[in-house]
């Protein structure tokens, strides 16, 4: 029997959910607060969370849906605007737009005693409520930035900008910038900031795995192996103290061994360890630069399982 289902969000997951539900004979209604689809990939000067030149971290081959592949001649990584265009074509190809209510904010979702749900929404015409048999939450993971607080920040006179508020290089031009962290987005932002700011310092709590998107002229994810994809999971899948050597392998492998190696991936940013305190006059204190490592300790290339086993044997010996 067909069911009425509310879908919250018209990003990639929301569009796929609407498409699959409609094909199964259900009646989906998708609520999207923005004026168009795309979710967190949609660029906006005030309400977006991506910057103007942002590119996806995966290639079109791995990013596109299996029932709507990207054009065969499109191999390199898409900009967010190009990806939103792809989602528009996907939406049109499967006639999904008739199920979507744009510029409609979901204010509350309440479960009723009978097991169904009441969804309260707000749009230009006002607030309304509707009942649904089920609700699919497809609003994404990165809607609300997590902004850390540093001691002394209340007296810091410089600008404090979260990555979700960064839009273009003009925001940092001719400024001295401290970047805290190096996640996927921050690594890209750091490279762009370092190329345009007067001085850029990157603060890391620990080493990070920084890899180029492109290898030998092609997206790197076209050449990945099961070993490369499973390394991080293998490292952190256990909390047993006896397995500390796993985390040591990961840090030895990916800790930047000198600034030259890191600049190649992140731009011209200097490296410091662990931002500590903000102080007046537009300055921020960080711990001393990342501790020196032997020049012989290069980023290891684990090409096969035998290399990994050999490294583990060596590390187990050093732990003992």
Cβ distance 119 to 245 under 8 Å?
no
| pLDDT tens column, 188-209 | 888 888 888 888 888 877 656 6
Domains, the chain, ordered by start: 4-137 (3.50.50.60), 153-319 (no CATH)
Quote the radius of gyration of the chain (alpha carbons, Å): 24
In this prediction, what percent of the chain has a pLDDT beyond 70? Answer: 68
pLDDT of residue 277: 55
Residue 75 — very low, low, confident or very high, per pLDDT cuts 50/70/90? confident
pLDDT of residue 57: 85
pLDDT of residue 237: 58
pLDDT of 263 higher than 60: no
In this prediction, what percent of the chain has a pLDDT beyond 90? Answer: 39
pLDDT of residue 49: 87
Residue 73 — very low, low, confident or very high, per pLDDT cuts 50/70/90? confident
Residue 172 — very low, low, confident or very high, per pLDDT cuts 50/70/90? very high
pLDDT of residue 12: 94
pLDDT of 266 higher than 70: no
Mean pLDDT, residues 217-241 = 66
Mean pLDDT of the chain: 77
Mean pLDDT, residues 122-131 = 96
pLDDT of residue 246: 65
pLDDT of 99 higher than 80: yes
| pLDDT tens column, 10-33 | 999 999 999 999 999 999 999 999
CA distances from 18 to 10, 94, 125 (A): 9, 10, 24
Residues whose CB falls within 8 Å of the CB of residue 287, separated by 6 or more in sequence, listed in order: 272, 273, 274, 276
Residues paired with 309 in a beta bridge = none
The predicted model scores a pTM of: 0.74
Residues paired with 214 in a beta bridge = 219
Nearest to 259 by CA among 194, 171, 186, 162: 194
CA distances from 294 to 75, 119, 252 (A): 38, 60, 11
CA–CA dist 270, 190 (Å, integer): 10
pLDDT of residue 230: 60
pLDDT of 151 higher than 70: yes
What string of H, E and C letters represents the secondary structure of the chain? CCCEEEEECCCHHHHHHHHHHHHCCCEEEEECCCCCCCHHHCCCCCCCCCCCCCECCCCHHHHCECCECCCCCCCCCCEHHHHHHHHHHHHHHCCCHHHEECCCEEEEEEECCCCCEEEEEEECCEEEEEEECEEEECCCCCCCCCCCCCCCHHHCCCCCCCHHHCCCHHHCCCCEEEEECCCHHHHHHHHHHHHHCCEEEEEECCCCCCCCCEECCEEHHHCCCHHHHHHHHHHHCCCCHHHHHHHHHHHHHHCCCCHHHHHHHHCCCEEEEEEEEEECCCEEEEECCCCCCCCCCCCCCCCCHHHHHHHHHHHHHHHC
């Amino acid at each position: 029997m067909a069911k009425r289902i509310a879908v919250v969000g018209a990003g990639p997951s929301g569009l796929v959910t609407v498409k699959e539900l409609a094909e199964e004979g259900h009646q989906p209604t998708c609520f999207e607060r923005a004026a168009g689809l795309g979710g967190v990939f949609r660029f906006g000067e005030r309400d977006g969370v991506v910057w103007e030149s942002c590119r996806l971290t995966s290639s079109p081959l791995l990013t596109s849906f299996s029932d709507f592949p990207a054009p065969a001649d499109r191999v390199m990584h898409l900009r967010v605007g190009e990806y939103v265009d792809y989602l528009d074509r996907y939406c049109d190809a499967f006639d999904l737009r008739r199920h979507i209510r744009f510029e409609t904010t979901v204010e509350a979702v309440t479960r009723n005693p009978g097991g169904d749900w009441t969804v309260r929404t707000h749009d230009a015409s006002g607030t309304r409520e509707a009942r649904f048999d089920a609700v699919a939450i497809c609003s994404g993971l990165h809607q609300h930035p997590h902004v850390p607080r540093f001691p002394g920040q209340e007296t810091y006179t410089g600008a404090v900008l979260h990555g979700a508020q960064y839009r273009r290089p003009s925001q940092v031009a001719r400024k001295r910038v401290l970047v805290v962290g190096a996640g996927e987005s921050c690594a890209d932002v750091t490279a762009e900031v370092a190329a345009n700011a007067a001085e850029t310092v990157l603060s890391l709590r620990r080493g990070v795995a920084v890899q180029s998107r492109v290898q030998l002229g092609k997206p790197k994810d076209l050449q990945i192996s099961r070993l490369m994809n499973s390394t991080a999971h293998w490292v952190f899948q256990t909390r047993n103290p006896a397995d500390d050597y796993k985390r040591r392998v990961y840090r030895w492998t990916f800790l930047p061994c000198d600034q030259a190696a890191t600049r190649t991936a992140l731009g011209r940013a200097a490296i410091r360890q662990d931002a500590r305190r903000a102080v007046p006059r537009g300055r921020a204190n960080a711990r001393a630069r990342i501790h020196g490592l032997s020049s012989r300790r290069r980023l290891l290339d684990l090409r096969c399982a035998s290399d990994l086993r050999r490294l583990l044997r060596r590390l187990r010996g050093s732990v003992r």
